[in-house]
Amino acid sequence: MRFFVISTFYFLFSIFSPSAWAAHIVFKDGKTKDVPVAACTDRYVQTDVAGVAVKYYFDEIATIDSLSPREFFQASGKYAPQYPRSMYLAALGFGAAGDLDQARVSLEEAAKYDTSGLPLALPGRVLADIPKTISRQYGTLLFSGLRDYEAKNVKRALVQFQEAVESNPDYFAGHYFCGSALYSSGDYAGAVASFKQAQGLEHGLDAELSFYLGQAYFAAGDNQNALRSFDQTAVLVPGHRQVYLSMGLVYMALKQPQSAVRYFIQALRIDPQNALAYYYMAECYYQSQDYEKSRENFNKAAKLFEKSGDAAMLAKVSDYLSKIIFEKN
């Protein structure tokens, strides 16, 4: 992801490309056109004509489907799965420029349509209160850091998160984002420390912070504290979509495959399409030399990996199935 001048950040990052849908455009000169909309930003709608992209800019348009161009852009979030993320990225641009009020508006807009469990959900919830509760300097540092994080510049992001913590050590968001950046950079002990700091200061995000703290403990090789943190997450949110898979992986690391299987089964009760739960459960059965159950679960995992187009995991399944044939013979 490239950096852009702040004034154009919102426009350039708010593009999305859903499946095309038909729209009736009325231009300011009175002409009309019915087009399949392939993309929309808050500056133009785009259609494809014989494979060539054609853009119709809002300053030339009176209405689109009887809505003003701005209203159409906002409503298009109902059709475009990427719309919430575009608003999240727009919020980062506004926040990095110090416009925390507009950043909050963009986050609220993203939240209206974010029903798919996107990874932005937690950062969005963390950031949503920032313009209401803290200084402009602190908020600008966090938004700037997140923009760098989105651009894969984790070191620069971490510096800004650390500056935010120094300027306001009593607010949990800076510690939480420091933990995320430290985890991404491989400093798992540092991530643990930051997540623990955030956990002591947070307001209403106990389950998610416990989960990320557990992930950091696990990555640092502290399996027992990882399990304690994951247990806390499971108590707070019994239907958490990730925690039981993570607990199963800890028990695999502890070489307790039977315990691991119980948690993978629980993960599948919550999400029957969890291919990784089938895969790791199959590994546990393989380690226990229950080759029939191993083969059965590898085949279930393979169907889901094939559906999602995950060629790397399909290759791993294929290797295991070959080993099972060898072991059984």
Residue 223 covered by a domain: no
* CATH assignment at residue 270: 1.25.40.10
Among 60, 78, 96, identify where a domain stops: 78
Is residue 234 assigned to a domain?
A: no
In a domain, 199, yes or no: no
Domain boundary among 34, 60, 78: 78
Residue 298 maps to a domain: yes
Question: Which helix (DSSP H) or strand (DSSP E) does residue 104 occupy?
Answer: helix 100-113
pLDDT of residue 1: 28
Domain that holds residue 62: 17-78
Q: What is the pLDDT of residue 215?
A: 94
Query: For position 29, which CATH number holds?
Result: 2.30.30.100
From 34, 63, 78, the end of a domain falls on 78
pLDDT at 114: 52
The reported pLDDT for the residue numbered 287 is 93
> Is residue 105 within 8 Å of 148, Cβ to Cβ?
no
Query: Is 305 a member of any domain?
Result: yes
Could you tell me if residue 261 is inside a domain? yes
310 inside domain: yes
Question: Is the model's pTM score more than 0.85?
Answer: no
> For the residues of 209-251, what is the DSSP string, one character each?
HHHHHHHHHHHTT-HHHHHHHHHHHHHH-TT-TTHHHHHHHHH
Alpha carbons 176 and 78: distance in angstroms, whole number: 31
- Does some domain include residue 327? yes
Domain count within the chain: 2
Q: What is the mean pLDDT of each run of 10 residues along the chain (329 residues)?
A: 28 32 82 77 70 80 84 61 66 81 77 51 64 79 88 92 92 89 94 91 74 94 96 90 94 96 96 94 95 96 90 93 82
Give pLDDT, residue 219.
95
